[in-house]
Structure 1
Amino acid sequence: MTFLSVPPAFDWPFQFCAAVTVVCYVASVVTANVSQVDRLWTFLPTIYTAYYALLPLWPTHQPFFLVPYAPKSLGHAVLKDYSPRAVLMLALSVIWMCRLSYNTYRRGLFNLKDEDYRWAILRSQLPAWLFQLTNITFIAAIQNFLLLLLGMPAFTAAALQPHTDLSLSDYALAITALTILGLEFVADNQQYAFQTYKHAYLAHVKGNKGEPYDEKKQWLLARLDWTPSDARRGFVTKGLWRYSRHPNFACEQTFWWIMTLFPLASSSPPSLPSFPSLQILANPELRTAALMGFFRQAGLVLLPALALSTLFISSTLYTEAITRKKYQVAYAAYQKRVGMFLPIKAAVTGLFCDKHTDKLIWGEFYGSKASKSE
């Protein structure tokens, strides 16, 4: 059984992606809640990665629609044993899934009634027909296809490369990926601790009874010196957030860039294309074709990471537009002082400190124990 005219190697993933897309769209219409893909985001890349990493596990014929199978056309060399590289990638993806699922759970997004606040704002900004068009094309279809793409590096490792032992590049990338996931976990926890403190403080100011902020309930690296000025400012700027406006997003993109590079960094093809030599670049007749060929090949092999980064950059710009409208002066100062993803801007602007800007971002008593009694 094949899904339309999709190549056999992609038949089951496309079946599953199409089914999930339809379910997400129908559920979003029935519930008037378009965060259905958001709830599944934590699982789908790992499902696609697992399909390719575990190819020898599946039957060679599909008994009925949506049952995973490994077509015989993939070849005996692919189906006879597991790819150590693909299995390693699956293990890393499972760790990624656990981290994101934990953060999604405590934010309440697994609650079927919860919807990402950005969708509610977008709904209010667009005519109803245009929002529904956005829902079926981008929110349901394009996002699901992007999540399918994140499983393609495992396809390359399992189906296009020999199942050789792990190499030095695999170990180096795995260690780097685990480090990135650790940093992302810290960033998540710092954001969560800040939001917990902010809501507890603002509730106390309004005279509402609620659970007071308990630092001991937070993860160790998230027990930062939160102050009333932090709560009044409204957004987190301490910890990793002192060096990046979105350290969690930076880590998320970096993790999937690493996953994309796993098969490309190995000694087996496919690999990253070589950049044209200076001799070719100096020749006007060869330069244009050579550059176009390079970017076309690089774009194809790096497509999963490129697609995810494109989504993150566009969605982050939209998120920041919302945040800046809410916290106009302070967030503008934060954008001036700290980079969106990379810590380079914070390091450079730190050499030319503007006390007024720093006060808006970190408060007048930043770094002082006295700030807690502000």
Structure 2
Amino acid sequence: MAIPLVHALEDCADYSKAVGPFIPQLYDLPAKLLDVFAGRESLLNVYTETNPLISGFAISVFLGAVFLVVAEINRNYSQIDRCWSLLPTLYVAHFDAWARLHGLPTQRIDVALLFSAVWSTRLTYNYWRKGGYGIGHEDYRWEIVRQHVPKAVFHVFNWTFISFIQSILLFMIAAPVYTILLASTIEPDVTSADLAYLAIELGLVLTEYIADEQQWVYQSAKQLYKGSAKVPRGFKQADLDRGFITSGLWGFSRHPNFAAEQSIWFLLYQWSCYASKTLYSWAGIGPSFLILLFQGSTWLTELITAGKYPEYPEYQRNVGMFAPSGFLTYKPPAPKAPKVIRTSELAKKQQQEQKQQKQK
């Protein structure tokens, strides 16, 4: 079988036993696929005889090439964004399907697949309603980046990070399920801890949904206000004039949806650590890189936002980027009162001007 024969849970997270021995399969895979195209081999046989971590990684590399070609042809660099909400769940389903084909226990993988499917549904819906699947839609940040870097540099950036690295990342954040798959060969039954992880994961997805809904309602009201100059019910003119939301979850975190997103995949990694009775493992590479990616992308987003809205720097000083900086919600600064000039002050100023004229 194309997975290690493990005797201890700790072995399931051991790179030298669970991953290293199967790396050569990655080098052999192109030749096997050529045999499939030539009719000398069955695709199903190649799939079942290849370690699922290796085949999943190979799929992510292939998709990276697809994203690269489509992006360069269309000069649109949000191709991977259209698949972002789907691929991690498809990779989890890949581990589930591979285990089923080999008659391995899948109960614990099914639990992980359940939360991932709910995550995909929420994110896909939110991306769709914002027009993400519309023809020609592209993340506005790419246009800004293109304006500040040489054309050749941006193409290299697309060939490396945008297309391939992000594609591999979407596999790596789902890779902890491989550890759960191996652990299921020793402990196949769903435990109370698995259900606890599921509950927390679903709670984080709910947090994302609430944050996105609050943002959607605010942005919809702002667009209506811009078009009609009428303040929609439930909003104040000052809130809409500000240009960005500061209420609800956004009063405690500048990016509550991003905070939940990072937590979701880091928790899946922790889930795999619990299943393998280890404190850490190689499976943390994907979630760790995702956190670093969010640091960079959020910095760019806030740099753009601070340049558009005068109050945003004040918001940044008082509200944490991801984690709340306090227990109190954000309070907008009080508007500056206009300076009142008394009549006596005007008369005094006129007398001074008249005195200066006489001296001349």
**TM-score of the superposition, structure 1-length normalised?**
0.73
Distance 1:299 1:323 in 2: 37
Determine if the alignment matches structure 1 residue 342 to structure 2 residue 323. Answer: yes
Q: Secondary structure at the match of 2:210?
A: helix
Shift of 1:325: 1.3
User: Equivalent residue for 2:218?
Assistant: 194
Match of 1:236 among 214, 234, 245: 245
CA contact (8 A) 1:56 1:81 kept: yes
Return the match for 1:140 from 124, 148, 163: 163
Of 154, 178, 181 in structure 2, the residue corresponding to residue 131 of structure 1 is 154
Report the Cα distance in structure 1 between the residues aligned to 2:148 and 2:326, rounded to whole angstroms. Answer: 33
TM-superposition CA deviations, 1:266-287 (whole Å, max 9, x none): 3xx3511xxxxxxxxxxxxxxx
Task: Give me the whole-angstrom Cα distance separating, in 2, the residues matched to 1:176 and 1:128.
Answer: 44
Instruction: Give distance in 1, aligned partners of 2:70 and 2:277.
Output: 39
1:260 aligns with 2:240: no
Alignment of 1:1-374 (within 5 A): 2-4=25-27, 8-58=51-101, 79-161=102-184, 162-205=186-229, 225-266=234-275, 269-272=276-279, 298=280, 300-327=282-309, 329-343=310-324, 345-347=325-327, 358-359=333-334
Write the distance in 2 (CA, Å) between the matches of 1:88 and 1:4.
32
Contact 1:83–1:164 (Cα < 8 Å) also in 2: yes
Distance 1:45 1:359, change over 3 A: farther
Shift of 1:214: 7.4
How far off its partner does 1:179 sit? 1.1
| Contact 2:109/2:180, CA 8 A, preserved across alignment | yes
**SS class of match (2:189):** coil
Offset from partner CA, 1:144-182 (integer Å, 9 cap, x none): 111010121111111344242112211111111111111
Out of 162-171 and 252-261, give the one that drifted further.
162-171
Q: Which residue of 1 aligns with 2:4?
A: none
Which AA in structure 2 matches 1:36?
Q
Aligned 8 A contact 2:273 2:281 in 1: no
- Is contact 1:92-1:177 (8 Å) kept? yes
Could you report, residue by residue, the CA deviation over 1:84-138 in whole angstroms, capped at 9, with x for unpaired residues? Answer: 2211001110000000000000001011310011111111111100111111111
With over 3 angstroms needed to count, the CA separation of the structure-2 counterparts of 1:256 and 1:134, relative to structure 1, is same
Please state how far the C-alpha of 1:262 moved relative to its aligned partner: 1.5
Q: Name the residue aligned to 2:9.
A: none
Q: In 2, are the aligned partners of 1:84 and 1:163 still within 8 Å (CA)? A: no
Q: Deviations over 1:25-57 (max 9, x none)?
A: 111111110000111001010111111122234
Q: TM-score, with normalisation over the residues of structure 2?
A: 0.76
Unaligned runs of 5+ in 1: 59-78, 206-211, 216-224, 273-297, 365-374
Question: Structure 1 pair 299/127, CA: closer, same or farther in 2 (3 Å)?
Answer: farther
Q: Assess, with a 3 A threshold, how the Cα gap between structure 1 residues 202 and 22 changes in structure 2: closer, same or farther.
A: same
Q: What residue identity is the alignment partner of 1:347?
A: F
Kept in 2, the 8 Å contact 1:244–1:346? The answer is: no
Shift of 1:254: 1.1
**1:358/1:127 CA distance change after superposition, 3 Å:** same
Q: Are the equivalent residues in 1 in contact too, given 2:105–2:188 (CA < 8 A)?
A: no
Percent of aligned positions that are identical: 32
Return the index of the structure with the highest Cα Rg: 2
Query: What is residue 275 of structure 1 aligned with on the other side?
Result: none
- Distance in 2, Cα, partners of 1:255 & 1:347: 23
Residues of 2 paired with 1:80 and 1:24: CA distance? 34
The letter for the 2-side match of 1:102 is Y
Measured against aligned partners, the alpha-carbon deviations of 1:51-97 in whole angstroms (never above 9, x if no partner) come to 11222344xxxxxxxxxxxxxxxxxxxx3233322110011100000
Take 2:135 and 2:178, find their aligned partners in 1: how far apart are those partners?
A: 32
In structure 1, C-alpha distance between the alignment counterparts of 2:281 and 2:161, rounded to whole Å: 21
Report SS of the residue matched to 1:347. Answer: coil
Give every structure 1 segment of 4 or more consecutive aligned residues whose post-TM-superposition deviation is greater than 6 Å.
212-215
In the alignment, structure 2 segments of 5+ residues that lack a partner are 1-23, 30-49, 338-360
Contact 1:53 1:82 in 2 (8 A): no
Q: Is the 8 A contact 1:44 1:148 kept in 2?
A: yes
Give the partner amino acid of 2:193.
S
Distance in 1 (alpha carbons) for counterparts of 2:125 and 2:93:
20
